[in-house]
Structure 1
């Protein structure tokens, strides 16, 4: 038994290899489709044509679909594994030990790749507000060779590299650059969605047609739920037509798996129910007096949203109700009979009943029928049973109101045109359920953090336990740029680095505090763990031909100098596919720190020195703790490769752990 070493290019040190996974699935379904090519594994196109029929397979240029120069490379970007990692930042977080929310600073393309193992098919809802490609928003070029290094250069964390720039219409690749930026991110996002999940994408007129065609390709046109229209305020500077709306494209991962009905709470319902409850306490079972007072209350509420529900002006033992005619054109035409006395109920001409005789009998037993006369009836509809509505595809929310609320929250105006957290809260209410304990809401163009704010509001409103995952590029703020000056000065006033992500984190802290104040007694999770994208902790073999001895000396320790144990631990759990908020504990074994992740699924001892005499005691201690933890699945135990005195010590460690049920032993 030997300890296997994890190299920089080992599968365990990289994000999910989506191309390899796809080829493996194809090989399982159609073994004859996979063959050998000049550069390795290849797909036999002739076999593919045979399998699907020659007439349905084409490689011709003239085919229906969205195409642009660079599309193939953009598609390839999504399939290229990342060698980066996410480094924990507890000092920048809120309630690190208990929270299950995430705020990740990094290039969202690389972060989405890194999340593939841990969060594939686990995200219930995605909302993104990508750059609208107006000529002012940046669209930076993705680097095919080393995107993590390129990202660090772009954000000023290391020297050199191309700076973030605007994508103006003068650029000959105005649309293609934007599409090439969106395609790999949407493909990776789709992999993260649950089978019953949905994605909401905000966009304006300039790219809505291209985005819809792109989403049809990525998600399937049959999975389009709606193209919603978000009406804001008219633009006073319009010369021809004042465009006062934008769009939200809504796609499902699998529309057949999404709940058939989405609902929104009707505005103004809660005050009505609250007043009815008060009147019941005042009048007891005198429902007539309670109903009279409720009707008077509605007359006094003409300026409120509750006035829209004024037809619900009656109270009985079940609740607040209105009376409706139980017939409709095209309903059931038959002779309805009162089961209590055999009287026939009159049916108006050209109308039909909304129920059959058995249902009618049940409604009478439940007290849901009002007999106006012996042959005339009304149906009682209760407000608490009809307090939700099907969301409309067109809705109005003034754009300025969100800016005003955020300015008040932050203390000054910092963000231009932030998305409205109340609208996003409605999207979350529509597409998620408070009873779904594994619900994750993702936003990988997080901006000011509106999506997270909306999650906190909805959890506080309905007691849900939704989690948010935000990803945002730490774009440097330029105090000399007119549109960034206020944000840069705000960071300076708080002694924060001039980065957009500092403002995002600030907003999350303030929003969490306000939610806690506004919903006293509410115990929803208002914390968040911060992680930052960086190069892998595992040193890549990069020999210097002119000084091989020095290269060998530098690679004695396989891990990059200066990285903390927590950095290495989180890379291990990320690359193994564990949740970034999975429980983690530590204890001292033979004087060395040993960490257990996920209840013992991953064990790690990253001590810098393990002598031959310490091997047995350390191994037995780890084995005893593993037995105590009793993890459900196989466990992996990881050590620092350079810590062992020699190969004999490594072999003995592996042998003892294997004898105690730990089969997978690795070194870094």
Structure 2
């Protein structure tokens, strides 16, 4: 009943590669467990190991080793459902997890391993203040200042401006490191991570992502230009960034993934062409003249669109493109005859752009433009309606003020500073998932819920069925903030209410696509494990305490609490449809068409066991204390063995 032990998983991976380096050692209780013989491992990697004080290219900071340890260490926690805070709980396909993202990411490791298509994070920026993510390995300010030589043993400062000497950068990196390592596991092979960041931690985050994802998987550094400050002392600023990494860049290349976006102003030009064709009476020369006159008004469009100034006899706008091959190839060098004079036209020294067969096809389609005679090099028609998309640009120009205003309109108050822009999120989520309409999107710094809002907005736009998982710490809002004045106590409360309102509004506006918005979400909260510690040695146990050790479930936990811990332990998705039925007088949970059937009643009858077995579920779970005796539990197993031998039966 703990999250996966990543250290054990890493040892298993080493065992597959180098079985001879695996040995045994005794744990704290004296039990044998697998371990790595590092002397043998060094021998296996003798040409590649970097040891000791040798110089190497790396990013280091105080607390890095501890951060790596905590990423791998298991936790005895679970996710408890909050049905009353959710929307359409039973059928929701989205998740809102309230709690520390480190715990949440650990708990999601088995259920969502390799499932996320895109992870978008806008982590809390390092302001130099006390850190809200107080991870267990973080040292106090006093410990850091003493160890780093900034104060003496009596606490007197030895170095001025201590905040600038690394502690806050180290804390921030230590917070991000384990979360990014765990998040990488959740990305699919073609998955992409987008991390928004400002100038303060851009360089550190870039190096950290290089370590976690591998520098070879870096894809892009997007510059986000917001409002600049005219009174700035140096540059106007207003810049944020988005660092983009792939889980496997080579896989993306092999799949010929290309991120595209519509050309700015494309629809405007298409409308102008259509208008010119209609006004000309479908006369190509006159339509071209009208279009060129329209271009003189200097409409705001992508620069490349301004070359589409001609309209042909089919009413399609085009430009005259080159026919020369960029590289010399023998099969591209052949005679091309002028259609009137019958003589060869001039050929580029590299040859033509197309093979003989393709060139003949283009000639038949009228896509080759010749001059009056053979002395002029021909050109090819490049039609506007075939050039709608372009490679997505690395510069985003969008003021955040518009996102703030939109959120105020939705919530009726200024409840969150600097929310993410929905339009920008939609653009990038759609681009990096190649328009995949069932993509899963994860944001483990959920903030005000912008990422979930963007996913629902994309679904409303194109009828998709994308899903989101948001994680947000139950961090208190400032007492003087607009959120506090509006009645909210935590940022998580703001995010949940934003998702409720945004979902309802999108459904109202979506019309026939309302069903695709999928505004439902399950609220789950990180909490301690549902089980109590009942493990005792004989000399620690008194006769009168034995009765209290029979039930290992905490008294304040419900059957639904236990159900979600079982889903986690079995690595099942936490959004599977759930229904509750009465069976032989007992409350029974049915998950995903009997993929799992569970009953956590305090007493389990043989009739109930037989009724569940007749349903032949894939998995069945009971509460261990629900059986009157060991014999009753063994009999239950025997009933399943006879009626439904394929069912995996467990008791907790």
Between stretches 174-183 and 558-567, larger displacement belongs to 558-567
Shift of residue 121, structure 1, vs aligned partner: 0.9
Shift of residue 553, structure 1, vs aligned partner: 3.6
| Whole-angstrom CA distance in 2 between matches of 1:343 and 1:99 | 69
- Which residue matches 1:487? 483
CA, structure 1 residues 417+141, in 2 after alignment: closer, same or farther (shift >3 Å)? same
| Whole-angstrom CA distance in 1 between matches of 2:293 and 2:502 | 34
Shift of residue 73, structure 1, vs aligned partner: 1.2
Of 317, 321, 332, which aligns to 2:317?
321
Of 73, 85, 106, which aligns to 2:78?
85
Shift of residue 173, structure 1, vs aligned partner: 2.1
| Whole-angstrom CA distance in 1 between matches of 2:137 and 2:53 | 27
Of 500, 507, 517, which aligns to 1:509?
500
Matches within 5 A, 1:205-224: 205-224=199-218
- SS of equivalent residue, structure 2 residue 210: helix
| Whole-angstrom CA distance in 2 between matches of 1:318 and 1:25 | 62
| Whole-angstrom CA distance in 2 between matches of 1:666 and 1:242 | 62
Contact kept? 1:323, 1:378, Cα under 8 Å: no
| Whole-angstrom CA distance in 2 between matches of 1:472 and 1:318 | 55
Shift of residue 299, structure 1, vs aligned partner: 5.0
CA, structure 1 residues 299+60, in 2 after alignment: closer, same or farther (shift >3 Å)? closer
- Which residue matches 2:630? 647
What's the TM-score, normalizing by structure 2?
0.85
Shift of residue 448, structure 1, vs aligned partner: 1.2
- Which residue matches 1:159? none
CA, structure 1 residues 529+284, in 2 after alignment: closer, same or farther (shift >3 Å)? farther
Contact kept? 1:337, 1:357, Cα under 8 Å: no
| Whole-angstrom CA distance in 1 between matches of 2:183 and 2:432 | 17
- Which residue matches 2:567? 573
| Whole-angstrom CA distance in 1 between matches of 2:314 and 2:41 | 63
Shift of residue 243, structure 1, vs aligned partner: 2.5
Q: Per-residue CA shift, 1:71-130, capped at 9, x if unaligned?
A: 111111111112211112232222333331211111000000000001111111111111
Shift of residue 313, structure 1, vs aligned partner: 5.3
CA, structure 1 residues 170+223, in 2 after alignment: closer, same or farther (shift >3 Å)? closer
Shift of residue 334, structure 1, vs aligned partner: 3.9
CA, structure 1 residues 311+84, in 2 after alignment: closer, same or farther (shift >3 Å)? same
| Whole-angstrom CA distance in 1 between matches of 2:524 and 2:493 | 13
- SS of equivalent residue, structure 1 residue 56: coil
Contact kept? 2:273, 2:317, Cα under 8 Å: no
- Which residue matches 1:263? 260
- Which residue matches 2:648? 664
| Whole-angstrom CA distance in 1 between matches of 2:443 and 2:84 | 23
Contact kept? 1:229, 1:393, Cα under 8 Å: yes
Matches within 5 A, 1:546-561: 548=542, 551-561=545-555
Shift of residue 419, structure 1, vs aligned partner: 2.0
- Which residue matches 1:470? 470
CA, structure 1 residues 171+383, in 2 after alignment: closer, same or farther (shift >3 Å)? same
Shift of residue 336, structure 1, vs aligned partner: 4.3
Shift of residue 138, structure 1, vs aligned partner: 3.4
- Which residue matches 1:625? 615
- SS of equivalent residue, structure 2 residue 408: helix
Contact kept? 2:63, 2:137, Cα under 8 Å: no
Shift of residue 238, structure 1, vs aligned partner: 2.2
CA, structure 1 residues 143+329, in 2 after alignment: closer, same or farther (shift >3 Å)? same
- Which residue matches 2:454? 454
- Which residue matches 1:521? 512
Between stretches 107-116 and 267-276, larger displacement belongs to 267-276
| Whole-angstrom CA distance in 1 between matches of 2:640 and 2:172 | 52
Matches within 5 A, 1:331-410: 334-338=333-337, 343-344=342-343, 346-347=345-346, 353-371=352-370, 373=372, 375=374, 377-410=378-411
Shift of residue 246, structure 1, vs aligned partner: 2.2
- Which residue matches 1:26? 14
Contact kept? 1:319, 1:384, Cα under 8 Å: no
For structure 1, list consecutive stretches of 5 or more residues without a partner in the other structure: 1-12, 146-166, 630-634
Shift of residue 506, structure 1, vs aligned partner: 1.9
Q: Per-residue CA shift, 1:139-160, capped at 9, x if unaligned?
A: 4321269xxxxxxxxxxxxxxx
- SS of equivalent residue, structure 2 residue 192: strand
CA, structure 1 residues 121+546, in 2 after alignment: closer, same or farther (shift >3 Å)? closer
Contact kept? 2:458, 2:464, Cα under 8 Å: yes
| Whole-angstrom CA distance in 1 between matches of 2:558 and 2:343 | 83
Between stretches 369-378 and 282-291, larger displacement belongs to 282-291
Q: How many residues align?
A: 613
Q: Per-residue CA shift, 1:428-470, capped at 9, x if unaligned?
A: 1221033453x21111011111222222233333433221111
| Whole-angstrom CA distance in 2 between matches of 1:605 and 1:215 | 44
CA, structure 1 residues 279+88, in 2 after alignment: closer, same or farther (shift >3 Å)? farther
Of 241, 246, 253, which aligns to 1:247?
241
Q: Per-residue CA shift, 1:322-380, capped at 9, x if unaligned?
A: 12232358566845425977834633777864323322112223343345546564422
- Which residue matches 1:151? none
Of 108, 118, 129, which aligns to 2:111?
118
RMSD value, Cα: 3.3
| Whole-angstrom CA distance in 1 between matches of 2:511 and 2:298 | 29
| Whole-angstrom CA distance in 1 between matches of 2:622 and 2:595 | 15
Shift of residue 565, structure 1, vs aligned partner: 1.7
For structure 2, list consecutive stretches of 5 or more residues without a partner in the other structure: 28-32, 139-160
- Which residue matches 1:192? 186
Contact kept? 1:283, 1:289, Cα under 8 Å: no
